[in-house]
Structure 1
Amino acid sequence: MAKKASNRRDEAFWELALDRAKLGVWDWNLKTDECFYSPTWERMLGYEPGELPPVSDLWLRLTHPDDKERAIASGEKHLAGLTEIIETELRLRHKSGKWIWVLDRGGVVERDKNGKPTRVVGVQTDITRQKAAEQALEQVNVRFRLALEASGTGIWHHDIDRKRSYWDERTQGIFGVSLDGEEVPRDFWYGFLHPEDKEAASEAHEVPVGSTHVVTSRYRIIRGDGEVRYVESLIRYIPEPNSSGYVLGTVRDVTDEQKREQELAYAARHDPLTGLLNRTAFDDALTQIRDEGGNFPLAVFYIDLDYFKALNDFAGHAAGDVALRRIADDIRAVLPPGAQAARLGGDEFALVVPTCDVAPAERLADDILAAIRDADLGPSSGSRRLAASIGIAFMADATVTVSDALASADDACYAAKATGRNRHALFSAQGNAATVGLNAARMASDTMDALESDRIALFGQQIHPIGHPWEACGHVEVLVRLIAKDGRLIPPGEFIPAAERFGVAAKLDRWIFQTTLKRYGAAAARGGIMLAFNLSAQTLSDPLLWEFVDTVMVETGTSPCSIMFEITETAAVTNFDAAEQFILNARQRKCRVSLDDFGAGMSSFEYLRRFPIDAIKINGSFVEHMTESRYDREIVSAIIGIARSLGYSVVAEKIEKQETLEMLAEMGVDYGQGFLLHRPEPIGDLIERCAPPVTKAV
C-alpha cells in the first residue's frame, strides 16, 4: 500500500515538474495509432485538459502548413533508423489563434520481437521567445550586413594563439586578391603596406591583450596591380574564454574620401583661379619662415597689376582669368628656391623670399616685371599688355610682425605707382612714399579689433517701391559703420577698401550676415522685410561660404526667400567663375541675387547674359546727374529696357533730388534708394519701427 502511494507521489511530482518546465509530453502507440497528449501540452496551447478532441493526428491538425512536411519527415527518418532522435522546430496554433514555436524531441521507446518500433514518446518545449529573439538578431544581422555592403566595409580577424588571420570576401576585394577560403598566410597583410606607412600601420594593429579601446588606423596599400589605395581600419581586441582572444577589425577603402579631404585642404589654402597660396596661407607661410630662424633678411614683395581692369573691360572676364593664371605661372617660374607666392585677391600678389638682401630682391623684382610685360595673355587680349607695380620690404629679425611687413611692402607699392608704374620701390619709413598703404593697414587692423570688441554698428537703408506709399518697408540693405575708439562713426568708404586689401573683408561679411540674422532676423521676418547683404570678392571665393550661410539660416530660422545678396561688378571681375557658382548656389536655395553698381564697367551686359540674377542696381554715378546729363539718362534708359526684356527688377540708387525720382518713375524704374527716400539709420531702430510687435498670449 505504501509503495502504491509512493508511485502516485512520483507521478504527481513529475507532472508538477513538467508543468513548471512548460513541457508537453506526447505518447504515440504505433500498434493502435493512438496518441496521448499530457495536460501540460494542452495548457501550452491555451486549452484545458479534455478540451481538445482525442484524435491521434491532433498535433498535425494544429501544425502550421509550412512546417508539416518537415515535421513528418523528421519522424519518418527516425522510425526508419536514419536518425537517433526526432528533433524539429515547428509552429502550433494556440487557442487564441496565434502561432507558437515549439521544439519537438522524441524517440522510439518500445519495439516488437522483430525490432520494429511500436511506441514513440517525446516532449515539446515552447520556444516562441527564443525564436523571436533569433528573428530580432537576424534582423540586426541583416541591417549590419546591409550597412557593411553599403559602406564597402570588410571584416577580418586575427587569432592570437594560432597566429592566423581570416579575411572576408569584401576585405579580399579591397586588397585586390581572391583566395580559396578566408584564411590568409602569415604576414600576408604586411606585404601590401606602402613603405612609408608600414611602421605606423603595424604599430596601430598591435592591440594589447585586454585592451578595450577601438584603434583607428589610416594607411596606404599597394595592390597587386600596382595601384595605391588609402584604407582605414577600426581595430579592437576581443576576449575569448580559454584563449588569448583575437583581434577583430574592419577595413574600408577611403581613397576617394582621402582625395576629397586633400582637395578641401588644398582649396582652403590656395587661390582657386591661380593655384597660388591665398591670403591666410601666405600669412601662415610668412610667419613660419620668420619663426624658423636663419632666413633673415626676409624680402616681402607686394605686386599690384597695372591696367588689369582695362583688360577686363576690353576682353571680358574670361580673358582676365587667363591673364591672371598665366601671370601666376610666370611668377612661379622666376621664384628662387624656398620662396612662396600668393594671390591676395583681385589683381594683387605677394611673395616672401628667405635670405634675400636688397640686390637680389631688386633683380627678382626686375625679372617679375619683365615676365609680366612679356606674358602671353591669350588670343582674347588682342595686343594689350599688362605691367605691375612692386613694393619690397625687409624683415631683419623676428620682432617684425607679418602685418607690418606686408603693410610696408604695400606702402612701397603705392610709391611705385605714384612714380609712374611698371617699376619697383623699396620701403623707406623716412622716404616720401605715400602713407596710404600704412594707413590702410592700420585701418584693416582696427577693423579686426572692432569685430572682436563689438565696435561694428549695423545700419539699414530702405529700398522703396517707386510709385507706392513710403510707409511700406519691405526691403532693407544692411550697411555698417565702424565705431572708432574715440566714439566716431567711420563710414564704410574709409574702412571697407582697407578690409578688402588686407584680407579682412570675408570675416567682416560673415560677421555682418550672422549678427544681423541673430539679432534682427526674427523681427524682420515678422515684418515681411527682405534683408540685402553686400559681399566682397574674397567672400565669393570662399569655398566654405555656403556651409556657413546654410548653418546660420538654420540656426536663426531664416527663410532663404527673405535674403538677397548684392554682388558688385568689381567682385565679379575678380573671380568670375566663383561669382557664377555663388549665384547658382543662391538660386538653388531660393535666395535672391542683385547685381550692384551695374553699368560701371564694359562687362556689365555680359554678366546679365551669364548670371541668373533677380535684380540689377544701377550705378549711382549715372543716377545722381541724370536730370542734367543726357548721356546718363540714355544709359539708365538702356539698362531699364534690357532688364525688362530679361525679367529683372531694377533698383536706382543715390536718389537725392525730387526731379530725379520723378524722372525715374516716368521711366518705369521699380525701386529707388537714396537720401531723398531714406537716410541710413541703426537697423535695430528701423526694424522695430517697421515690424509689428510680438503678440503675447493672454
Structure 2
Amino acid sequence: MALNSRRRRAARLLLALLGTIALLAILLIWITLLIQSGTRAFSSGENLWSRGYQNALFFADRYAEAGAPEDLRQALRFLSVPLGHYQGRRALEQNPPDLERARQSLQAGGISESDIELLIWTHRYFSRLPFISETLRNWRASDTRLMQLQQLIEDVVHARGQTELDAELIARQRAELRTISESLGPAPSPFAGSLRQGERALRSALIAASTLAMLMLVLLSWRLSRRLLEALHAAEGKFHTAFEQAAIGMAEVGPDGHFIEVNEALCRMLRYDREDLLGTPLQRYTHAEDIDSSNQALKRLTSGVSRSETYDKRYISRDGETLWTRLTVSSVRDGDGDRLRLFSIVEDITHARKLSDELSYRASHDGLTGLWNRQEFELRLQQAVQDARTNDSQHTLAFIDLDQFKVVNDTCGHIAGDHMLCQVAQVLRNHLRDHDLLARLGGDEFAVLLHDTTGDGARLAAGKLHQAIKDYCFHWQGRNFSLSSSIGLATINGNSHDSTSVLQAADTACNMAKDSGRSRIHFYLERDSATEHRRREMEWVSGIRDALDNARLSLFAQRIRALDGDRPERFEVLVRLTDAEGIEHPPGAFMPAAERYNLIGEIDRFVLTRTLQLLARQQDRLARIDACHINVSARSIACPEFRAEVTRTLRQSALKGPRICFEITETAAVTSLHDALEFIASVRELGCQVSLDDFGSGLSSFGYLKNLPVDLLKIDGNFVRRVHESPEDKAIVQAINHAAQALQKATVAEFVEHGDAIEVLREIGVDYVQGYAVHRPEPLEQLLARSGSGAMPPSSDRLATTSGH
C-alpha cells in the first residue's frame, strides 16, 4: 500500500513538472514573440521618424528659398511625425507613465494602433533589456537636433514674415538647415543597428529555450509513462480486490446483457450463487415492468449515445421478493477501442423507497380515512381547472357536509365520530367511478371531483351519493344513528379561474343547501353572487392601484428564531395595505384580487425593491440578522421579465446575496416546475438562498424535493399548529425534518402559536421556528432598528389569541 502511494505521488510530481515546464516554455516563447513584435514596432517607428525628419528638412529649405506657404505646411506636417514620437516617449518616461497622452502623441506620429500598444508594452516592461535600452538612448540622442530643427523652422517663418526680406539671413538659415541634414545622416544607424542586434539575440534565445524545453519534456514524458504503467498495474489489482470485497453489488455485463462477472455482495442481494448468475441475461432477474426501460438504457450504452446511466430498477430475488435498487452502469472500451465492457453498481434502496413512499402517502392522504387530503385535492383540482381552460372540457366539484356529525361526536365521543367518518368514506368510495377523485377536506367535509361530468349527470351522481349517505346507518355501542348530507355542486369549465374560486363556489352552494333546510343538493349559479363578488374584487383592484401610486403599501417583518441558539436570526417580510380611510389590511384581504387581476407582480416588485433599499441603508445593523425572507408569487416566478428584473435589481444593490432568501410555495414550484427551477438557479447564482414554503401540503412533496435545489423547507403550518397535541402531526413533522436533514436542508416550522410547540419542535430537531409564539409582526424599519441596538423583543411562549400571519 505504501509503495503504491509513493508511486502515485511520484507520477503526480512528474506530471506536475511536465506541465510546469511546458507552461514555462510556452510563456517564454510568448514573451519572446511579443518582444520581437515590439522591436519590429520600434523599427517601423524609426522609419517613420527618419522620413518625417528628412522631409521636414527638405520642405523647410524649399520654403526658405521660395516662401511658398504649401512648402511650409508640408514641412510642419512632416515635422509633426518625429515630434509626436518625441512627446509619446516623454509621456512614457513620466512617473507614473501618462499612457493616454502617449497613445495620442504616437498616433499623431503616424504609428498604427497595434504598433502603439506594442511600443508602450515593450517600453514599460522591457526597457531595461540591453538592446532596448541602447535603442532608447539612440532615440534620445536625436532630441537636440529635433529641437534645433523645430526652432530653425520657426526662425525661417519669422524671417519670411518681415516686410523687407533679409536675403543674407535667409541664406544663413538655409546653410544651417543643410548642416543639420548632413549631421543627421548617420544618426539613425545606431538606432536600427541596436534593434537588429536585439532581434538576433532573441532568435538565438528562442531556439535555445525551445531545444532545452523539448529535451526536458521528452525525458519527463518517458519517466511519466513508466510511472503511469506501474500505477495502472497497481490500480487493476486494487480494482479486482475492491470488486470482490465491496459491500454493494457490482457486476460486469456484456453488450448482450449477460453477466460476465459478479461480486459476492450482488449474489447475496439476489440470493443466487455466482455460478447461477454467470452467463445468464440480467433481464431474467428484472421486474417485468422494468424490462423495457432497462433494455432502452442498455441500447443507449452499447450504441454510444450514453456512457453512463443511473436509474432505479426492480429486481426479483430467488425467493420472489421485489428489490428496489439504484443501478449505475458505465461503458468502457479497451485500449484499442474494440471491446465494450459494461460495469454496474447495484445499491439496494428497498428500505429507503418504502420509507419515501410512506412519507409521500402520509403527506398527501388523510390520516384517518386514507382519502386524499385537502392540500393534494386542491393541487389536483387546479389541474382539472387547467384542463378545462386548455381543452375546453367540463367537470363538476361536489362539496359534501354531513348534517348530523356533531350529534354523534357530542353523544358518543370523538372515537365514535372517527369510526363513522371512516365508514362514510367507504360508502362514498363504493358509489363513485374509478376516475373520480374523493378527498376529506377536514372535519365532516368531503369533496368529490367528478371528471367529465356536468349538468344533469352531475346532479344524478350527487343524488346517488346523497341517497347512499341517507341509507347508511351508523351503529355504536347499541345505538343507531341516521345521517344526511348537504351537497354543493360547482361546474368547472373554461371560465373557471382557479381551484380556490371553484372550491369557494362549491362551499357557497353547500352552505346554501344548509340554509335551505339541509339534506339537499344545491347547484352553484354564478348569478347568485357573481355581481357582488365582482364588485368587491374591483374595489380591491382600485384600492391596490391607489396604494401603489400613493405609497400606502408598508412592510412588516416577523422574526424566525433559530432553536439551537448559535445561529443569527432571520425574519420574513410581510406586506400591509392602508386604504384611503387609514385602515390597515392584511395580505389575505387584497392578495386574491391582486393575483386574479395580475397586480401581484407589481406588489412583488415593490416588496423586493423597498426591502433591498431598507437593508442596504442599514447594513451596519444587520450583524445579528442571518437572512431576510422575501415571498415571491407563482405568477411572478412564471414571468421571465420579473426574473430578469430580480437579477438586475440584486446586481445593482449594495446588499450581499446571502442576506436574501426568497420564499416560493410548494404549489407554485410544482405547478410551474420549469419556471421555478429557472428562478431558483438565477437567484442562487447571485448567492441568494431559496426556501420552499408550505412544504408537505402536496402529493408530490418528496418526489419533487430532490429536483428542487432549495436551501430551506418551511413545514406547512397545518402540521405545526397542533404538533404539541397531535401525534399524527408530530410524526409528519418528524418525517419531513428527517428527510430535510438527509438532503442537508434546514427546516423552519411556521404558524408556531404555543410555547409547548416550540419545545416539541426543538426535540424533533427543527432548525427554526416562526409564529406568534415567537414574535408578532412589526414594521420592518422598527425591527431593523431593534436589531442594530441589540434590543430585540423577547419571544412569547404564550398561545397566540389570533391565528394567521
Q: Please give the range of the TM-score, normalised by the shorter of the 2 chains.
A: 0.3 to 0.5
Higher helix share: 2
Higher strand share: 1
